[in-house]
Structure 1
């Protein structure tokens, strides 16, 4: 029997494609590179969905209309986005949650410590792992065939049409194919090539920790670019890059390794100097720039400094922070130059406006 739709990939995009194709009556085979225990790609580490809505909903307070969503996207991308595609995604996001519920996904209100998201983001009950598991259960119920530990190395094309995919020495044919095999963020060589060396002679990518899956090696991306003439667009160094704890594992640390106290304190590099405005914009719209900012610092290291008043006002990290009773003592524990560090913090404090600070009403 010839498969109608072959889906290459095992994360959110791949599963949604497989489910929708099966609902339309097609026979579907999904190939996931990872073992079953690690299925789902980066999707198993997600926690919420930003979606447009014109009125309050069960887990979303107030409205979040299309134009506001578009303006938010425009700001965080610095204008580098395709408006037609973006607006289509924004409009269609309003239909996502009912469809997801039909496939077993449950939602809950904004989590404590997740700042300024109660109106814009619907959180998955159980996080990304529960999301992925719900989709796989639905796929099994609908009759989608799933194969694990099946990485695709190459595909055959005939005049631009899909013919077959190769998993090792096995050739798999299908009438159509959906490629949803992820990016190349766990391909060290490709990251090194994209980022190159900095002015200090360092290779920044060598120090990157990948909080997502280790299975996104970009094999098919490179194959399509090199062997099938696919167009490359954008900047290979652009990514959803967040600041994570330097003690996190090399792969699959997940969202619990993210440092969320940045906007409530001071961030310095190894020279004990600030390098960006920590409070610029709402944190949910700015957190994804901090990985790149840290990557541009010597050693790809930064230190987020908070005082006792900030504790409990952000999503707690998985690792305990370094504690000290004075700035000088903290600097010594971190290996920073104490006089420079104290001067940096003093300058920051001197620039603060007087008044009562409410981190929930920025």
Structure 2
């Protein structure tokens, strides 16, 4: 085993948004920092390179954000999607701190653009990155390297040795050899375990083998498992995750944001038997889109099918893959492998249950609903009548898992009731401390930015 020299003050494990925020904050506090990124340089950035925006509290117009988005409204949105399964203290910390993050991000190279059109309805609540997540990641790497942060790629951490109340050393593999460093402080920001499909299957059962992984194939939970195995306090349920319904034609790994489907509110969604199974119009898309991954996971073969008509085709941001198209519903059913009689019956029953559609409004709750069918559609319920007809297959796309490291308001980890004196966590690795279930669009980037900055400052204070 090779002991690396010179030794850093701080080792940051991971290479995405949270890791970069921690590294930058620590370097600005005067610490010598090394980032250990498992991925090769072209794939650096973890899931962050697939993101588009972060959710930001603001008491008035701020950068690209309009109007205001108060702490209480933000918290209410979070409580709704999580079913109140959150640590309210940490949630409020993330929300309050987010307002100061936007100017900090701009000062460190991130640029913003006006919000995207379509069904996201986020101009007031979410700030969109110019160049997307990859633009953000690249900006932060430039900033970090200008501050003297050392970046090691293809550096796969395998073990953190904890002795009593501190991490004594880190072992990682790189270029075929095992290396060792002895930093004064450690920040873990290496994501969840979603890319380890065997672990997913242990948590979810065999159905998880049919899940697609939206993000990086490098988040396999190796560091997480190592620390949990040494008694570091855990938080979260292994069956809870940020999972959305994505295009069924997406690759197994790394399909990213372009495979997401935003058309559910303007559709009906059926299973392989041609039957509807949930209210497609329950709420505006940023608050409800994440439930559809779990809903599809519960269907036969873990697959669903979106059915829309010509008048809805331009109302949402399309997937990278074109929809299946037919002039008739029967033809669409055949193309999609659905039973034609069952699908046409389901559509006919849905159409008959639709009422007055004059109040239809695609970007807000409009109350245009069905009557007399189960499940209902409570908003945006328009008959599917205008050819050509279009369809997409849906599969569960897992973004990140919520089982993680429990942290306090200083982002510090603990064993029992005793803090590990030089160990902090940020980002998806500790997001289960706040996200008990469900998801709110852009909130993962908020958690990573806020707790990355906190962890970096605390780690530097300890090292210094």
Query: Taking structure 2 as the reference length, what is the TM-score of the superposition?
Result: 0.75
Report how far residue 147 of structure 1 moved. 0.3
SS of aligned partner of 1:302: strand
Which residue does the alignment assign to 1:200? none
Kindly report structure 1 stretches of 4+ aligned residues shifted beyond 4 Å. Answer: none
Contact residue 119 and residue 285 of structure 2 kept, 8 A: no
- Among residues 289, 294, 308, which one is paired with 2:310 in the alignment? 308
The reply to whether residue 211 of structure 1 matches residue 220 of structure 2 is no
Report how far residue 331 of structure 1 moved. 1.2
Contact residue 11 and residue 35 of structure 2 kept, 8 A: yes
The whole-number CA distance in structure 1 between the counterparts of 2:244 and 2:233 is 27
Which residue does the alignment assign to 2:179? 170
Residues 320-331 of structure 1 correspond to what in structure 2 (within 5 A)? Answer: 320-331=322-333
SS of aligned partner of 2:213: coil
Which residue does the alignment assign to 1:118? 123
Report how far residue 114 of structure 1 moved. 4.5
Which residue does the alignment assign to 1:185? 194
Deviates more, 1:209-218 or 1:157-166: 157-166
Q: Is the strand fraction higher in 1 or 2? A: 2
Which residue does the alignment assign to 1:199? none
Report how far residue 154 of structure 1 moved. 0.4
The reply to whether residue 45 of structure 1 matches residue 54 of structure 2 is no
| 1:35-70 Cα deviation digits (max 9, x unpaired) | 000000000000001100011223112111110000
| 1:159-186 Cα deviation digits (max 9, x unpaired) | 1211110013211110010011110000
Residues 198-277 of structure 1 correspond to what in structure 2 (within 5 A)? Answer: 203-226=206-229, 228-277=230-279
Which residue does the alignment assign to 2:445? none
Count of aligned pairs: 355
Report how far residue 352 of structure 1 moved. 2.2
Deviates more, 1:63-72 or 1:242-251: 242-251
The reply to whether residue 137 of structure 1 matches residue 142 of structure 2 is yes
Report how far residue 12 of structure 1 moved. 0.5
Contact residue 33 and residue 150 of structure 2 kept, 8 A: yes
SS of aligned partner of 2:324: coil
The whole-number CA distance in structure 1 between the counterparts of 2:86 and 2:354 is 34
Deviates more, 1:345-354 or 1:314-323: 345-354
Report how far residue 205 of structure 1 moved. 1.0
Structure 1's 260 and 182: CA in aligned 2 closer, same or farther, altered over 3 A?
Answer: same
Aligned-residue CA RMSD (Å): 1.0
- Among residues 344, 347, 356, which one is paired with 1:345 in the alignment? 347
- Among residues 359, 363, 368, which one is paired with 1:360 in the alignment? 363
Query: Taking structure 1 as the reference length, what is the TM-score of the superposition?
Result: 0.96
